[in-house]
Amino acid sequence: NVFEKQMIRVPSKCHGNTDSVQCVYRTIEILKHSRLKIRRVVEEDNDIVVPLIDAESSLLKEYYGEYYVSEIVRYPNDYRQLIVSEDAEGLPSGVMFLNRRIDVDVLNENFELGPYNGLRKPHENDLFPPESMEPPSETFFASFSGKPQEEMDGGVPIIIPSDQTLEGWERPIEEGSFVSLADQKTNQKNRKRSTLFVDDARTASDDYNKYFLSRILLHGFEDIADDFLRNIDAPSPVESKTKPEEQTGLPTRPVYCGEPNAFVVEIFTVQERIKYRSGRNFLEAAFECFPDLEYCAILLPFSHPPLPLLESFVRVPARSNRDYPMILHVTHRAALLGEIETRAGDPCDLEAVQELLGSIPKADSILADFDVATRKEQSDLHSYVFTWNNKVVGVMILCVEKEVTYIRRRFHVEDYIATKDVPQDAYARVLHFVLMPIFSIHLRHLFSETMRLSGLIVFYYRLTGNALSALTRAQPLAICLTAMVHVRPRRRIEYRFRGLTETDEPDTNREPFSLFMTTPRIITSGNLIFDTKIVVIGASDCGVAVLEQLAFGSTHDSTRFANLTVISPNGLPFENERSPMVASMMPFYGRYCREYRRTVTARSWINVVYGTVIAIDRIDDDPLSSLVEYLIGRVIDRKGKYVTVMRQGNVAYDYLIVTCGLQYQMPQFEAELDAQRTGEFVDRGPPWNCLVLNDDTQAAMCLNKIQLLTNNFEDQKSIILYGRNIDCYCALQGLLESGMDGSWITLIEPPMDQCDSHDSIFYNDCEVHAVVMNAISISGVTILAEWELVDWYLRESTEGTIIEALVLRSKNTTTILDAVSIAFCRAGLMFDGQLVIDPEFRTNDPFIFAAGTGTKYSRRFSAEAWQHKYYNSIEIGERLAKVLRSIIDEQNVETAATTTSKPKKQKTAFPSFRSGHVVACTLPGGYRYLHVHTPGKHGTQQKRVLHREFYGTDMVTGSCESDIGYFRLRLSCYDTVKMITCLSKKDFEVHQMIKLYGMHEKLLNELKTRFQKSLISDFYAYFREPWATALFYDRFDCLRVENRALLLSKTAIPGQSLIDDCISALTKSKWEPMQEMDRRSIEARYAGSVYHQELEDNLLDFLQFYEEDMPVYCTPDKLHELYDDVEYSPLYTEL
């Protein structure tokens, strides 16, 4: 068979007859895919190499003609090398252009190259600031020192002459995409073919196993925050134009005086059949071309497609306040040559580990845990060291995860593993993971080996909020996040019956954390990382949903975006610790809050630029332009695609997403308006005591300022609150809860719109409106209804200022920031009061997308009722992320043939959004309020009365002032829940009530029938009963999807399917509600059918599988256990 022919059979040791027992078959990759034969390019290769490059891009051929490869070989120099691989016929199958001219000073200014010694050789005059990591001692390298291999087969050391400086080089590689290939200074004869790389892999690795380890250990390692959380303590990389580094307070950078120690890959292309296995062979040969250099670098544009070659490179993060137009990838020859091994830690490794961690701050805890793990036999800690040619280059410390149930109940770990199949003792927590960055290309191999040695299957890593900052973290951050996946948090069921309490609650002093995990399947599958630079303007709910969907993706999505940036004046919402009073001033819209942000560390993948966009520079694409002009404009000349941030600089982008939305603005008063009428557009600036509340940061500033003015709410001051909406009343309650007396506050309600009523604030619920306004009056707040804020005066007196603070919250003043709207108009984007988009979220620029409340569809669609402001912003953001992801995926898989094909016709159908619109807050009087309604534009109360058949059925229990609280449910004409309103002075389960939206009343235990028969007096108590537990379980939606697919399926017998019966009945009634006789006939046929049995089996399997989380149901296993001893019980035996 195929195994006998292609693999080697390994028989069992324990059996004599090896033909009748199970055996193992093994093979070696080199037997199936032999190493490529790589040599230098000769002049005769021009006719094959040029078409090979031209298949990828025709720019070189158009710039330099058809014989540029021949000219380079004919006129060689001492800094460029060209190598090719040969196929079985001896013809070139791949080519790589190498150049040792690289401006390392420019790269050091823009990238964090500290772990790589600035891509320079060590020098005695190198300077390091006190706060940076010092190089290890010379004693540490004494055992590794050796004579470098200066003479190698087919390679001659090349040294830059002393009179030639970096400034004197003609054209550094990073200034453009390609360097001049025809201008040469030397003229030599064609060299003979000489093979640089031989088939024996051990020959090459043995040459480097001594000398180059000392080079990589010297400055070979920094805090791992450079990789993932590189911008936690400072804004994300932007091009700073205002202050030099010394004036901004940034730490002084190291100064490297050695010679450049890297070469760059200029061009690399291979045939399709070998592209997945050729990169490693080419790199090993490339290092032979430059035996005196230790690093290889690649500079790529952000929009490059995923390349298999990059699996051997480490991405270098950009410096803070820098926005270099390309991405730098670096690899070291030691990472490619030599043996990487994993073994259990030993007490004799302590000295080597201590020397390895000597230059890392806050590494004492690692040494202490390593000592405990290696010396105590009964310790729960396990240590493993990673060695390169028997020299320690990394260490991992694990502990047995004892809180498996706690984690499983709070995170969606079942998206990646089948918890029933994993033993309870097969879980581990990664406490410390330290590895030299150049070896991080072997992360997956190291994890796999550690799992094999330890016998563990699942590795967890907990990332706490304090670990995000170098100032607050207690230990170095782990480097292993690239080999792990982020696990989404779960919504917990809140039990409130029969005294049931949680049995896995953590200690009270435990800090919340976000969870990362890896398994053997995750390690072997891998992910595609896209470097496309996506910039999001605005950290609204819609913008944050876009970022999280792109960064984390769905469970089964193998693509990730690693170059995401958000521009916002106050950063990501709920990122900083705030007072509970601040949280009470902001409504909750369904997902984002402080508790959610603690378990989802967005900053591990998202850069943040603090500021306001004041200009957008974009490229106008001409559809008639040639492919070369398109590539030049998109890849090489990136100066036309950037946004300007106030007091920050420029941020380049590949795709720009605008999600700034509508915000409350500072008022413009008579003096400023009069100046504008005369043509004097002068920004007078808001008064110091005029405040707006758009996010938690502004709420905290408002509360702190009022607390300062009132001497911690002890001195009476006048506070004016302007607005008429839920946001305003929520802010009012926050001020009252903070300790402020109601008599200090004056509430000014602006005039209503002509078609609105007083109760439209609370979605036409007059009972809620009446009780809230009554609570405001009882609290002592002065209400001025139907007043409008016209002007603002500050009058000084002996007693002080008349008005100390103003909180401006008004539905009528939500607009786009003036600076942002001006930037849209100046950029040529279609702006009609709001940014104009099409159904695919596109603006009139193909690289700029927009979504959220700050957008509108073009008037030619006549789609006022479909505007985004009427729908759930989080769902809109996730849909936009999926659209953008599909566009980028399509661009990366396009071939040259499809590039020239006709463009696809854009869709004109509007996207459908189903998630309900959610708002929850605390209103004056201490009322807990929740409202969920169907998305879309809703008409006035009078219009809804005219369409009573579509209005549905209202069911109400309790009242606003009763002890049980007010609960209103509205069913649609199809008996599904379309609106939920809860108002109570007692706390209730907000997330569980939100889950009721969209469910059919039959699913709610015949809710409509029970209510009509007066069997339900309190909806709060009704939905807290044990039977409803499964409805609020986060996996219940999966059961509903499975059951729906079952009901829509067809049986093997034609005409016997449930869907066929329903279609026949609807066709008979001409698609009106089916006749009662037909409905009863379908129900009778369904009872006892295969559909009925399958649905019951699905439900029982669901309850039994999640019995540990929902112990309130009597499953078949519980019933069997209950009656297990009945036969032998004396109560049931004959006397």
Taking only the tens place, the pLDDT of each residue in 618-631 is 765 544 333 333 33
Task: Give Cα 87 distance to the centre of its chain.
Answer: 42
Q: Tell me the whole-structure pTM to 2 decimals.
A: 0.83
pLDDT for residue 145 = 35
pLDDT for residue 626 = 38
Q: What is the DSSP string of 360-387?
A: STT-HHHHHHHHHHHH-TT-SEEEEEEE
Taking only the tens place, the pLDDT of each residue in 200-221 is 333 333 333 333 333 333 333 3
Which has more pLDDT, 606 or 503?
Answer: 606
pLDDT for residue 198 = 29
Task: Please state the rounded mean pLDDT for residues 933-944.
Answer: 69
Check whether 1004 has a pLDDT greater than 70: yes
Check whether 295 has a pLDDT greater than 90: yes
Instruction: Provide the pLDDT confidence category of residue 315 given band limits of 50, 70 and 90.
Output: very high
Task: Please state the rounded mean pLDDT for residues 77-83.
Answer: 91
> Has domain 689-809 been given CATH number 1.20.1530.20?
no
> Has domain 530-663+818-896 been given CATH number 3.50.50.60?
yes
Check whether 564 has a pLDDT greater than 90: yes
Check whether 581 has a pLDDT greater than 50: yes
pLDDT for residue 1040 = 92
Check whether 655 has a pLDDT greater than 80: yes
Give me the CATH topology for the region 340-501+510-526: Aminopeptidase (3.40.630)
pLDDT for residue 193 = 34
Check whether 36 has a pLDDT greater than 90: no
Rounded Cα gap, residues 810 and 948, in angstroms = 32
Residue range 38-133+253-336, CATH number: 3.40.630.30
Domain with CATH 3.40.630.30 in the chain: 38-133+253-336, 340-501+510-526
Instruction: Provide the pLDDT confidence category of residue 30 given band limits of 50, 70 and 90.
Output: low
Check whether 188 has a pLDDT greater than 60: no
Q: Give the closest residue to 220 by CA, choosing from 119, 75, 339, 151.
A: 119
Which has more pLDDT, 806 or 952?
Answer: 952
pLDDT for residue 933 = 93
Rounded Cα gap, residues 790 and 723, in angstroms = 13
pLDDT for residue 470 = 59
Q: How many CB atoms lie within 10 A of CB 167?
A: 8
Task: Please state the rounded mean pLDDT for residues 2-13.
Answer: 76
Instruction: Provide the pLDDT confidence category of residue 1015 given band limits of 50, 70 and 90.
Output: very high
pLDDT for residue 863 = 84
CA distance from start to end of the chain:
69
Taking only the tens place, the pLDDT of each residue in 53-75 is 988 888 888 888 899 999 999 99
Check whether 347 has a pLDDT greater than 80: yes
**Contact at 8 Å (CB) between 485 and 518?**
yes
Alpha-carbon Rg for the chain in angstroms? 34
Taking only the tens place, the pLDDT of each residue in 891-935 is 876 543 444 444 555 556 788 899 999 999 999 999 999 999 999
Rounded Cα gap, residues 831 and 824, in angstroms = 7
Share of the chain above pLDDT 70, in %: 76
Comparing 148-157, 733-742, 798-807, the range with the smallest average pLDDT is 148-157
Taking only the tens place, the pLDDT of each residue in 475-485 is 677 788 888 99
Q: Which residues contact 1044 (CB under 8 A, 6 or more apart)?
A: none
Q: Which residues pair with 691 in a beta bridge?
A: 807
Q: Give the closest residue to 958 by CA, choosing from 945, 967, 950, 949.
A: 967
Indicate the SS3 state at residue 934: coil
How many CA atoms, within 13 angstroms, populate the side-chain half-sphere of residue 671?
Answer: 9
Task: Please state the rounded mean pLDDT for residues 313-328.
Answer: 88
pLDDT for residue 501 = 58
Assigned token pair, 578: 């705030």
pLDDT for residue 426 = 93
Comparing 43-52, 535-544, 567-576, 628-637, the range with the smallest average pLDDT is 628-637
pLDDT for residue 314 = 93
Rounded Cα gap, residues 919 and 933, in angstroms = 9
Rounded Cα gap, residues 996 and 1036, in angstroms = 12
Which has more pLDDT, 292 or 195?
Answer: 292
Q: Which among 633-647, 759-773, 999-1013 has the top mean pLDDT? A: 999-1013
pLDDT for residue 679 = 62
Check whether 450 has a pLDDT greater than 80: yes
pLDDT for residue 529 = 84
Rounded Cα gap, residues 335 and 494, in angstroms = 51
Q: Which residues pair with 265 in a beta bridge?
A: 98
Tokens 């500033």, located at residue: 701
Rounded Cα gap, residues 155 and 289, in angstroms = 6
Check whether 194 has a pLDDT greater than 90: no
pLDDT for residue 787 = 83
Q: Where are the beta strands (DSSP E) in 562-652?
A: 564-568, 606-610, 613-617, 642-645, 649-652
Indicate the SS3 state at residue 603: helix
Check whether 11 has a pLDDT greater than 70: yes
Indicate the SS3 state at residue 81: strand
Taking only the tens place, the pLDDT of each residue in 829-865 is 888 888 999 999 999 999 999 999 999 998 888 888 8
Tell me the pLDDT of the chain averaged across its residues: 79
pLDDT for residue 1085 = 87
**Contact at 8 Å (CB) between 520 and 448?**
yes
